Amino acid sequence: MAMAAALMVVVAVLGLATGGQAQLQYGFYRGKCGADDVEAVVQGVVRARFAREAPIVAYLLRMQFHECAVNGCDGGLLIDGPGTEKTAAPNLSVKGYDLIADVKAELERRCPGVVSCSDIQILATRDAVALAGGEAYPTSRLYKSGGRAGATDPSLDPYYAFVYKTWVCPDTPASDNNVVFLDDQWSALQVDNNYFKLLQRRRGVLAADQNLYADGSTRWIVDLLANSDLFHSLFPQALIKLGEVNVLTGAQGEIRRVCSKFN
């Protein structure tokens, strides 16, 4: 689950964009890794990965939401092994762990025991968003709407449904691994507000997305973000707030040598 969850996360995360008090410090690691700039190291690894795999942005966005939204950003999602957060059903399709591991390995080589795994997640996501991105997701909205075999969701734009059923996701086993962009393809690799504009046109691929526009309590948010430039200023604020949920500071927690296991 890549861009699907990332896009669904957008509205939820934007709700975090106001209120609260910052607990983190921009440039916290400056001068703490010898001659190396920690943030520049993270940016370099993320930029190289983005160049060959643009959807890494969506992977990291989803990872940070799953990591931080419930119990705070403690790096618990990165731990391997049975009975861990990583093995919980909602987290089984989270991707991007290898990028975090690559960044951690590089930083441990330069300055062991200095940079926490949760900070790496937050920094990497911030840098990935700056590069923009998005990807694809299959859905059952075309052929099993409401649990009814063969039913297509009537709230989906009819022409859009026709295109998907005819060319993108025909109801055959051969199409099981096809991907569906949740955004127009010209916009799928950008962080922008086109997703909200599609909801206004009844072109949200996932029912959960389209319901954001069908529900009066959230429709105004979709209209606001679709019809203004607010998305561009609110989205980074929201990611900052997400990274501050129950943040561990000072002597709390531990800086792991490898992010996938405790020291």
Which residues define the annotated binding site for Ca(2+)? 70, 72, 74, 85, 183, 192
Mark residue 4 as left, alpha or beta (left: phi above 0; alpha: psi -120 to 50; beta: remaining).
Answer: alpha
Burial pattern 204-239, b for ≥16 Cβ within 10 A else e, equals bbbbebbebbeeeeeeebbeebbeeeebeebbeebb
Give the CA radius of gyration of the chain: 20
Which of these is catalytic: 66, 86, 197, 203? 66
Active-site residue, 66 included: yes
Which positions make up the binding site?
70, 72, 74, 85, 183, 192
Rounded distance, CA 110 to CA 87, Å?
31
DSSP 9: H
Active site residues: 66
